Chains A and B, each alone.
Chain A
Amino acid sequence: MPAIEAWDLTKVYNGSLVAVDHISMSVGEGEIFGFLGPNGAGKTTTIKLLSTLLKPTSGHARVAGYDVVREPDRVRRSIGIVFQDPALDDQLTGRENLDFHARIYGLSRGERDRRIREVLELVGLEGEAGQLVKNYSGGMRRRLEIARGLMHYPRVLFLDEPTLGLDVQTRRAIWDYILKLNRDEGITILLTTHYMEEAEYLSDRIAIIDHGRIIVVDSPGNLRNTVGNDVITVGCGSCERLRLRLEGIDWVRKVILHDDTLEVYVREGEDKIPVIVRIAEEEDVDVTSISLRKPSLEDVYLHYTGSTIRGDGAGSSGEVKPMAGRWLRR
């Protein structure tokens, strides 16, 4: 049974603003599923719908096997959430925040003490648990919130922009916690982010979401492959000769000659590097350097969200529109 399922889930605010537009999806048990999209794409609203904080305008969803509209209490018992904005009481200590959570989720006394110890250890806050949260740094607050979201053994954990506004080291540490959780506790995780590298590092599958719609869902690797070619950059002595030879090969999609480098567009570039080196030897061309660049998720993202712009009729050329304008607009 999938951990999260949605059929045509839709949320319309005030009768006109469509925040979530017929989203259908299925997330398997133990999967880390990433929602990638710009601000205002509908990621947070989708999480609010799935976590019963909002009621859908139409459509259905089941989380941990329970219907979000008809069985909200059961859904709430099965999920943990880390909100985009902090949701801690900073007048309480870290431990008191956890104790509040444990009690309001109905954990027994023994369970409470044990579980508080466990989750504090998991996020490495044992030493700071007795301090008021108002003295915590941003990273400590996040870790406390993640710990809190796990207290009641949720089967599904929602992480809404888990590392927004955190520094690089803290972000990396939190990523590792997330992967550890998924591995050790087998929790299904749905996370939203607008950081490319975050989605790529963490997710088994990624849904690119824009204008409240899921545009594409696939593994980060497949997404990269569907879009772009790998680019092999060859530094060479007599590039022109190599270019002529390469252009005749069917698996070479495009070759661009710069002064003393060649850009070769291919698929599965790592397999093609030795072949290109061998051809260069046959042609008696000196290879001074060689490098491979895989298409990034950013290219994928531009490809898909860019095609939405064209779909809207805002542009007609084959070129992908620059993203800057779109980000500013939101």
Chain B
Amino acid sequence: MNGNADLQAIYVLWLRQMKRFIRARSRLIANIVQPFFFLTVFGFGFSSFRFGLDLNYMDFLAPGMITMSVVFSSIFAGVSVIWDRQFGFLKEVLVAPVSRLTIAFGQTLGGSTIAVAQGLIVLGISLLLGVKVNPLGILPALAFMALTAFSSASLGLTIASRLEDFHGFQLIMNLLIMPLIFLSSAFFPIQSAPAWMKTVMLLNPLTYAVDGLRGWLIGASAIPIYVDLAALATLSLTLTTISAIAFSRCEV
């Protein structure tokens, strides 16, 4: 395997996603409107609730909405391989003299970059809405967003390797991703949930993504940040490996 050629292939797969992202404005807008909507409606609507925390609800909600936006965007980027299969472009990629592993990595990297960019946009919206963010926490928060994005993009790619078309994708979004978001402490703190739900939330990997981000940005994590980081890194590594295996097995 030629290292330089692999880098070139990863770069061009990444570049393609950037170009498509910049050109598909509707997708960008759709992915920003939803968190913006949630932030304003829930942020202002629940502004007098405290959930037993010494926090403004809007401040509490912002990291959750950033994570949600990152997760949606990167899963979608991973799943877009289904699109490539339907429109034939996947064949062009698979018949190229590069390994499947390289292709999977380039694809995931591109999707993650877009997702982190969207997360940053939602962060910007939060700032405009008056969320008080710790400036020193932004850089480590970026790392959390990147890990979250890499995990979700890998999950998306795994789904895409197994699905022929988009019919199954809606089902997976509704039955898997939405419950994971709702039970990730994005909307309410773990502390205020009943014991059984707390257990479920602690088993949900997204909880660690949201909690870690909240720790860095707002300074209010419920779980020690190194635990968040360890959980998220493990998840990321596991899902990347699974997606590489699944993708190398898919046929056109």
Contact = CB atoms under 8 A, between A and B. Distances in A.
Interface of A: 51-54, 73-74, 76-77, 81, 83, 85-92, 96, 99-101, 103-106, 148
B96 A91 contact: no
A76 B16 CA distance: 21
Given A87-B92, A88-B88, A103 B12 contact: yes
Contacts of A54: 251
A89 B2 contact: no
A103 B8 contact: yes
A92 B16 contact: yes
Interface stretch (B18-26, B122-130, B158-166): B18-26
B12 to A, nearest CB: 4
Contact of A53 (B11, B91, B98): B91
B10 to A, nearest CB: 10
14 contacts: A51-B95, A53-B94, A73-B97, A83-B91, A88-B92, A89-B89, A92-B20, A96-B19, A100-B15, A101-B96, A103-B8, A104-B93, A104-B98, A148-B92
B53 to A, nearest CB: 45
B11 A103 contact: yes
Nearest to A93: B19
Contacts of A148: 92
Contact of B95 (A81, A89, A100): A81
A285 B158 CA distance: 81
B5 interface: yes
Contacts of B97: 73-74, 76-77, 105-106
Contact of A90 (B13, B87, B98): B87
B252 interface: yes
A152 to B, nearest CB: 9
Contacts of B98: 104
A77 B5 CA distance: 12
Contacts of B89: 87-89
B39 interface: no
A82 to B, nearest CB: 10
A105 B19 contact: no
B5 A106 contact: yes
Contacts of A90: 87
A52 B100 CA distance: 13
A88 B90 CA distance: 9
Interface residues of B, number: 28
B222 to A, nearest CB: 42
B9 interface: yes
**Of listed A54, A88, A105, residue having the most chain B CB within 10 A:** A105
Contacts, number: 70
A108 to B, nearest CB: 10
A103 B9 contact: yes
Given A106-B2, A106-B5, A91 B95 contact: no
Nearest to A102: B12
Contacts of B94: 53
A85 B89 CA distance: 10
B95 A76 contact: yes
Nearest to B89: A89
A110 to B, nearest CB: 14
Contacts of B87: 86, 89-90
Contacts of A87: 88-92
Nearest to A48: B252
Nearest to B9: A104
Contacts of B92: 83, 87-88, 101, 148
Given A52-B95, A88-B88, A104 B12 contact: yes
Contact of B24 (A81, A91, A101): A91
A106 B8 contact: yes
B185 to A, nearest CB: 37
Contacts of B19: 91-92, 96
A86 B84 CA distance: 11
A104 B12 CA distance: 7
Given A86-B88, A90-B87, A100-B12, A76 B251 contact: no
Interface in B1-42: 2, 4-5, 8-9, 11-13, 15-16, 19-20, 23-24
Q: Which 8 A-B pairs have the closest CB atoms?
A: A87-B88, A106-B5, A103-B12, A76-B97, A87-B92, A104-B96, A77-B97, A85-B88
Interface string B117-136: 00000000000000000000
Contacts of B90: 87
A53 B85 CA distance: 13
A105 B20 contact: no
A74 B1 CA distance: 11
B20 A53 contact: no
B59 to A, nearest CB: 38
A18 B103 CA distance: 31
Contacts of B8: 103-104, 106
A317 B20 CA distance: 60
